[in-house]
Structure 1
């Protein structure tokens, strides 16, 4: 009797276990759907709040069924109606824009609802999943995201403050935030690179959705008349803003293209301001023994493909430096830092923001200095950190290195119009660790516009850009002109200048080829 009773209990236990498994898998499917939809729902809510605010400011109201009510009850062409410019603008431009916004938001909400309904229906049909993306993965991600969302951002602070805040979190919370980091961690200097990368990658689609929504609103507005004396000016401003939004969307495409090359970390993605800012590392910035941060100059812009071009140069530089440090057990990471808005020749700028002024360089330097600090602060062991700057980017680099405590160990400037000071002693790198490269026929390198011509500055080591022989016997080629690539540029493979940058990044300056004369 006891044996039979035990067998029956065992069978019921197995049945109950199977039922629980089925139930939990269904719950996992629903949780996964909710996680996937939460971003879209939040975006709809934000856009609806914006539409409500716009409607209220122009004396409209959005009804529950999506219709737009005119609180002033103005009827175009009605008996005795006299419409001023403001009423015409409200009715002919604002109202159609609101109608289009609400229509689009309803469509987004219906799509989200349909997707969730499908998952709920599938769960009700008791779909069983195995392998990747199964219960364990969904549960872990859901729990991590839930825990991470309970953490409030720290007060604005320095990279050191951010690093201390991160380390002060319980280990379980840090692990959860590394698994599912909130978006605001992506651009926070002092946070581990791998966490910043995950946060930025996770918000790429959300960033695109927001920008597309803003662009759609502007296109709808531009299809309407612009009445009144200021209409022409407002239309021109809207056209310029639409171009900026389209450029930022192109920038997201460029970022995606670079990330698909693999072994990359997206350390900055910032759509505020006139243009998209970004920084992409090759290798692991958290673990590399040598980290080089390259800052480009005039005309560099993510939407123009500059990020992809410089990333290729940094990939070659990383390979060359890695070959030099491999025997010592070291490893190298290189970063293309486009975290500031470099001057563009085709823009109409205030004189203070043009390439002949240093305002953009100084603003960029504040961000760049924090980026340097953040790399050191986020690690338990400091890497050999090398700052590399070209053209206007070398001036930005020079200003950044005049900030205290950047942790930069060596600096290389190429085609530099000046590093922001006539005195080497104000540059915060160890003595003898700032190097200058000036190619043949590079007019910018002799300008000395921002401080002094580095090639004539005491304390700066001038390295060769001429034909030369490397320490390992390789024949190196001369570089010419002001460019970094495209044949004979500062960072083209096989040039003396590119070789010299590589040995500095590798921490082997004794292998560099010095300039003569």
Structure 2
């Protein structure tokens, strides 16, 4: 088995030198093709001597062909190994650099050693270091996984060549033999780790050469698009490439079902018997429901295309499995933004019905965050992700225990995916951004459950929240003082306290205002009212609202500029009197 110390000792320049030398030898041998052909027995020469000469020439030609084929195979394998080793050493170097920043080192046997002279005492930093130790172990695991694959592949080619088992093809020239040997000398590219963590995925991707990455994007975009831990630009490219194929597949499925649904619908309309109607209706129910699901997914692809057409967007999730399509679209560049905000919407949300509107509002929140930063002398970059990466409960599912809005099933399932997505943002970058998680309504429950695990989230905002899945702020693995709640007046859902204590009444949480506000520069901000998030003027995310302004400040890390409010109190539908000009 290859060790970290082995990887450190590998010398790609030596492999490059072998590659060049083998190329020169191959070219020299192939250059003898004409001479070899010219030494065939002259036409008309017969007899035992002629037969012996012909046999000897054939054996020589075959030896030459197999020699050229073996050299060509080894040359290709050596060249690809050189590139692959450079990528593996680069990935190890990145991991070592990351380890050094957090007070760790990577031993020759791959173990992560704590070398910090002083260790943090505050809980967030302790958690951060512990999470980084696990991440480093995952990264090293993938470096060694790839290194062992390279070593095994190269050894296999060398062994075949040494045993003269490289196929020289069925051609007649040395050039043909060279091409045949070269075709068998390629190294394999291992796929992503099965069930790997975002750090595993990031480590795997980092260990691949540029050539291997390009080939995977071309041949296996389905491996890459939803892989948390990979760069956003890569996921975007892979997911966009899959849209035409997904659309064609769904259209083909619809084309198969439509004749059956049309036929049964006509029979149902023509039936004169109650028993017959019932029988046909039962036959129709399944195909009709399946066709409706397919059409909704096609509509989701349309919504995704229309959102991406706005420009400056990244498609980070594309998943048409299950009952409803899932997607996540970022406004801005998640790979380079100093601040990244991830918004999770709630009850009733669908990609086809809500992606365009939510993306528009999150982009405006992003612009507000950047504008506020510039006005305060701290120009910055912000990316805002609309994450519909789970199947939010629908009104039609109210009686389904595991999917209903009155239960936590859908939220817990979604939280697993959201946790990985949030961790993937950090794992995909050399430096972590300021990461903010925002959740509305049932999406705030999903977010709250996700944040009870380590996610690297620096700030969390919950608005219109029926509960966070806990009554204790300490259960959220968010730095102290960085959890925020927004409650508009006349929002009954925000007072349900259906999933733990009403967030507005949790001890230690910061309460952001959603009331009328006059800024120091004279700008007038409007209040929010009711439970909606994107309703014009009164929605929580409405441009020009105090609620949106406050959330944009949190997203930009401008906490000192936020305007807070007193608790409205449970079932309090009057406008509260908080601080500031309301």
Normalising to structure 1: TM-score of the pair?
0.68
| TM alignment of 1:77-156, pairs within 5 A | 151-156=190-195
For 1:312, the equivalent position in structure 2 comes to 360
In the alignment, the residues of structure 2 paired with residue 150 and residue 380 of structure 1 have an alpha-carbon distance, to the nearest angstrom, of 24
Q: Which runs of 4+ in 1 moved over 6 A?
A: none
| TM alignment of 1:158-307, pairs within 5 A | 158-177=197-216, 182-223=221-262, 232-304=281-353, 306-307=354-355
Deviation at 1:315, TM superposition (A): 1.1
In the alignment, the residues of structure 1 paired with residue 191 and residue 420 of structure 2 have an alpha-carbon distance, to the nearest angstrom, of 22
For 2:476, the equivalent position in structure 1 comes to 427
Gaps of 5+ in 2: 1-185, 268-275, 567-577
Q: Secondary structure in 2 aligned to 1:459?
A: coil
Q: Secondary structure in 2 aligned to 1:353?
A: coil
The answer to whether the Cα contact below 8 Å between 1:148 and 1:182 also exists between their aligned partners in 2 is no
Gaps of 5+ in 1: 1-146
- 2:444 pairs, out of 371, 388, 394, with 394
In the alignment, the residues of structure 1 paired with residue 218 and residue 438 of structure 2 have an alpha-carbon distance, to the nearest angstrom, of 32
The answer to whether the Cα contact below 8 Å between 2:398 and 2:405 also exists between their aligned partners in 1 is no
For 2:461, the equivalent position in structure 1 comes to 412
Deviation at 1:234, TM superposition (A): 4.0
1:454 partnered with 2:503 = yes
1:470 partnered with 2:519 = yes
Give per-residue Cα distances to partners, 1:170-207, cap 9 Å, x unaligned. 24323554677622211110111000000110111100
For 1:81, the equivalent position in structure 2 comes to none
In the alignment, the residues of structure 2 paired with residue 285 and residue 367 of structure 1 have an alpha-carbon distance, to the nearest angstrom, of 18
In the alignment, the residues of structure 2 paired with residue 322 and residue 422 of structure 1 have an alpha-carbon distance, to the nearest angstrom, of 33
For 2:427, the equivalent position in structure 1 comes to 377
| TM alignment of 1:317-396, pairs within 5 A | 317-326=365-374, 327-347=377-397, 349-396=399-446
In the alignment, the residues of structure 1 paired with residue 538 and residue 449 of structure 2 have an alpha-carbon distance, to the nearest angstrom, of 28
Q: Secondary structure in 1 aligned to 2:563?
A: coil
The answer to whether the Cα contact below 8 Å between 1:148 and 1:173 also exists between their aligned partners in 2 is no
Greater shift in the superposed pair: 480-489 or 388-397: 480-489
In the alignment, the residues of structure 2 paired with residue 417 and residue 407 of structure 1 have an alpha-carbon distance, to the nearest angstrom, of 24
Residues 471 and 180 (structure 1), Cα distance of their counterparts in 2 relative to 1, 3 Å cut:
farther
The answer to whether the Cα contact below 8 Å between 2:337 and 2:433 also exists between their aligned partners in 1 is yes
Greater shift in the superposed pair: 273-282 or 483-492: 483-492
The answer to whether the Cα contact below 8 Å between 1:148 and 1:176 also exists between their aligned partners in 2 is no
Total equivalences in the alignment: 369
Deviation at 1:276, TM superposition (A): 0.6
Deviation at 1:396, TM superposition (A): 0.6
In the alignment, the residues of structure 2 paired with residue 285 and residue 149 of structure 1 have an alpha-carbon distance, to the nearest angstrom, of 31
In the alignment, the residues of structure 2 paired with residue 444 and residue 182 of structure 1 have an alpha-carbon distance, to the nearest angstrom, of 41
The answer to whether the Cα contact below 8 Å between 1:193 and 1:286 also exists between their aligned partners in 2 is yes
Give per-residue Cα distances to partners, 1:281-322, cap 9 Å, x unaligned. 001000000000001111111122x00010110111010111
Deviation at 1:149, TM superposition (A): 9.8
In the alignment, the residues of structure 2 paired with residue 438 and residue 508 of structure 1 have an alpha-carbon distance, to the nearest angstrom, of 20
Residues 302 and 354 (structure 1), Cα distance of their counterparts in 2 relative to 1, 3 Å cut:
same
In the alignment, the residues of structure 2 paired with residue 346 and residue 163 of structure 1 have an alpha-carbon distance, to the nearest angstrom, of 39
In the alignment, the residues of structure 2 paired with residue 359 and residue 428 of structure 1 have an alpha-carbon distance, to the nearest angstrom, of 21
The answer to whether the Cα contact below 8 Å between 1:411 and 1:429 also exists between their aligned partners in 2 is yes
For 1:490, the equivalent position in structure 2 comes to 540
Deviation at 1:483, TM superposition (A): 0.7
Give per-residue Cα distances to partners, 1:319-372, cap 9 Å, x unaligned. 011113344342000000000111111446413421111111111111011100
Residues 356 and 322 (structure 1), Cα distance of their counterparts in 2 relative to 1, 3 Å cut:
same
In the alignment, the residues of structure 1 paired with residue 198 and residue 279 of structure 2 have an alpha-carbon distance, to the nearest angstrom, of 45
The answer to whether the Cα contact below 8 Å between 1:148 and 1:177 also exists between their aligned partners in 2 is no
Deviation at 1:472, TM superposition (A): 4.3
For 1:41, the equivalent position in structure 2 comes to none
Q: Secondary structure in 1 aligned to 2:311?
A: coil
Larger radius of gyration: 2
Deviation at 1:469, TM superposition (A): 2.4
Q: Secondary structure in 2 aligned to 1:328?
A: coil
Greater shift in the superposed pair: 176-185 or 202-211: 176-185
